[in-house]
Amino acid sequence: MRSILFRALVLVALAQLFAAGSPEDHVTFHVPAGTVLARHFESRKQISQDEVEMLLNGEPLPSGNDNGMALIQSQGLEVVDEFTAVETLRTVSLKRSFEKIASSGEQTTKNPMDAGSQEDTTRSRSELEGKTVVFQWEAAKERYVAHFEPEGPDVKLLSGLDLDLDFLSFLPPAGSVSAGDAWSLDVGAMERLFLPGGNLSLKPEEAPDSAGDGAALSMFKIDPAEAFSGLDGDVEATYKGTREVDGVSCGVIAIEFKVHSARDLSDKLPRTVDDSGASSELEVEHLKAFLALEGGGELIWDLAAGHARSFSLSARIKNQMELLLKVTNNDKTMDILRKMRMSGTYEMSVAISKR
């Protein structure tokens, strides 16, 4: 009788255990006021031309089919964030010091007539480097307002900045989560993966000397964030449980994405007049851009401290562009259609430490 009773009690205990489900972790942002975090971002994009085609009035141009282009771009961002005021799960005031903002690119272009290749190196800097920006939450307008402290360069540099460097949009909506739980994310979160900190207003230290594709694309006055607008696809997050990192218990969130966009950017390149004379005119008929991104990453979250500890990302890029130009010289008109396909990779690593 006692044996039967004992087995019954064990079964009841097991049933209660399974009914309770897996233990949950609280993966939330809860940084106390006065916290100072140093953030170090490194990224590298490597992309090369797969295929290019050029048509003049509908007829192929041999010189447009053989030239190749490869681009390697590295970018570094180092900031120090001081959380001066924090309310429940929200930063009210943050002081950000931009210690380093730098970008360098190497472009190699193969001459279409087999006359060798040309290499160009471009380095970019931002006027934000060395400056301090304060982000202040305005509850009535439900947005952050940024200002320099003390006064800095042109205030227009502040308009594209993003306060969030903890990837808050990737956290579980409910806050509490168990290993194996998954949730879908808005594709707008992709911008924080490829543009951490927002538009940092990087500008080349010197104008490019070449007149190739890189120079042509420099004619576009496009906010970097626009490259990630109009995306469609899937972005998924899965909680992998906890992992000890340097003696600290951290939550691990795996990110997977497969997104794409197709956009008409014709209005981004206005009609231009050839410097050689007023009789020659160049006009954009249309500019179409196609972008595909696929990959994943891993967000390591300090459960006790309530902020991101590190992030790693790896992605594959496919990019297509179709540009149709109309060239008018006196009474003659020519249509030039250029189609280009490129592909490559993007890697990013983030390290965050407390000061």
- Domain residue limits at 324: 22-354
Whether 303 is covered by a domain: the verdict is yes
User: What is the distance, to the nearest Å, from the Cα of residue 193 to the centroid of all Cα atoms in its chain?
Assistant: 4
Whether 207 is covered by a domain: the verdict is yes
Please name every residue paired with 248 in a beta bridge, in sequence order, or none if there are none.
245
Q: Which of 319, 152, 201, 177 is nearest to 252 (CA)?
A: 177
Q: Which amino acid is at 52?
A: V
Q: Please report, to the nearest 10 degrees, the dihedral formed by the alpha carbons of residues 8, 9, 14, 16 taken in order.
A: 110
Quickly count: other Cβ atoms within 10 Å of residue 21's Cβ: 8
Whether 10 is covered by a domain: the verdict is no
Whether 103 is covered by a domain: the verdict is yes
Give the residues of the chain that fall short of pLDDT 70. Answer: 1-22, 62-67, 110-117, 207-223, 268-280
Q: Write down the pLDDT at residue 267.
A: 73
Q: Write down the pLDDT at residue 16.
A: 47
Specify the number of domains making up the chain: 1
Question: What pTM was computed for the model?
Answer: 0.83
Whether 27 is covered by a domain: the verdict is yes
Q: Write down the pLDDT at residue 226.
A: 73
Task: Report the SS3 class of residue 34.
Answer: coil
Whether 2 is covered by a domain: the verdict is no
Please name every residue paired with 143 in a beta bridge, in sequence order, or none if there are none.
138
Whether 15 is covered by a domain: the verdict is no
Whether 29 is covered by a domain: the verdict is yes
Q: Write down the pLDDT at residue 269.
A: 65
